A = this chain, B = another copy of it.
């Protein structure tokens, strides 16, 4: 049982590192298009990678922040940004590959975000709404963890956030959050369900990328 838990922790640590590396690279590419200097690029990369978890933890009062307690993640982010600068030409050719890696990161962030959100909300929500209320907070935190890094990247690059316009991105985070919260409520939150949820979210995201699935843009002004 113990080794089972360790395995889940270990797998999510790998996925988390994959996720922040992919986000750091995406920030590096965005900043590179904006004529920023070396410092600007690394800053945008770091904020893109670690911004989602940071916004979530600040909103939940969940201190210390991940990267304050584990500054090794900052080092990983820097390295990923440096590598992205060196292989920038190839990243553009490898565009689809990076979208896939980014999708893994998104799903991982959402899974971890709903975990933290659910447990903190359980103690904060008034008893009569405890389960449904904690679920709402958990799903919001899945979305916030998944997208805030990219939103901050776009605001700091003076663009309108892509996630508000583009294909299924936030909704994938929401689906992962909903499913993970159900497994926590039903007490079946284990390695198997975790992998199934991660895979399911990942596949939907891939469909959005490769089959152009997207949410409707509702034209309510004509």
A contact set with B: CB distance below 8 Å: 31-41, 43-44, 54, 58-61, 63-65, 67-72, 74-75, 85-86, 88-89, 92, 120-121, 124-126, 129, 132-134, 136-137, 140, 151, 155-161, 163-166, 170-171, 214-218, 220-222
Contact = CB atoms under 8 A, between A and B. Distances in A.
A39 B165 CA distance: 8
Contact of A125 (B40, B71, B129, B166): B71
Nearest to A84: B220
Contacts of A85: 218, 220
Given A38-B217, A89-B220, A155-B155, 15 more contacts: A31-B164, A32-B221, A35-B217, A36-B164, A37-B215, A38-B216, A39-B163, A60-B68, A64-B124, A71-B125, A71-B129, A71-B132, A74-B136, A85-B220, A157-B160
Contacts of A36: 164-165, 217
Contacts of A126: 69-70
A71 B158 contact: no
B160 A151 contact: no
A161 B155 CA distance: 10
Contact of A37 (B41, B67, B72, B217): B217
A170 B134 CA distance: 34
A199 to B, nearest CB: 22
B159 A40 contact: no
A54 B43 contact: no
A61 B61 contact: yes
Contact of A33 (B41, B68, B72, B221): B221
B37 A69 contact: no
A175 B144 CA distance: 33
Nearest to A68: B124
Contacts of A75: 136
Contact of A39 (B34, B40, B41, B215): B215
